[in-house]
Amino acid sequence: MRYLLVDGFSELRPGRFARAYRNVTLTEDVFATHFPNFPILPGVLITDTMAQVAAWAAASENGLDVVAGLVALREAKFRRYVRPGDQMVVETELVRHLGERTVWKAKALVDNKVIASIKELEFILTSLSPEAARLERQRFIYCGGDEKLLSNAVPA
């Protein structure tokens, strides 16, 4: 992941559920053009934030020794704007396992109101080299994840 869109995790049940947040600020580059007089977070960035949280939740079951690559997204819905100053909370939950694939659902909330949802995010899990897994754990910590949240994870 080049763009890390998560500011912190408040709950992680490896391989089953995650709750994370993103603090949306006016200093984000996207607001220079989307839209200068009425800044709103683009839906694609809301979607990517939900996908990142679900990917880490899926990979955490194996202690982040795997990467979860998004292969399908079904039924995304957007209900409200996300504006600078909002804290967007993302909740993701496992729907089912399909062998090496895993399917999640996600919703994004602002002020406890659903602003977006995705019925299915499908990922394929791929093993990482030890060095790549170390870097993935560093990215997780950088985004506010705590290694203690991974303590229930089963090593691959």
Cα 71–chain centre separation: 15
Structure tokens given for 72: 């399908």
End-to-end Cα, the chain, rounded Å = 21
Which of 95, 94, 115 lies closest to 24, judged by CA? 115
Upper half-sphere CA count for residue 102 (Cβ side, 13 Å): 24
Catalytic one among 16, 34, 80, 101?
34
97 catalytic per annotation = no
Q: How far is CA 46 from CA 23, 120, 148, in A?
A: 12, 15, 27
Angle at 49 between CA 125 and CA 94, to 5 degrees: 45
Which residues are annotated as catalytic? 34
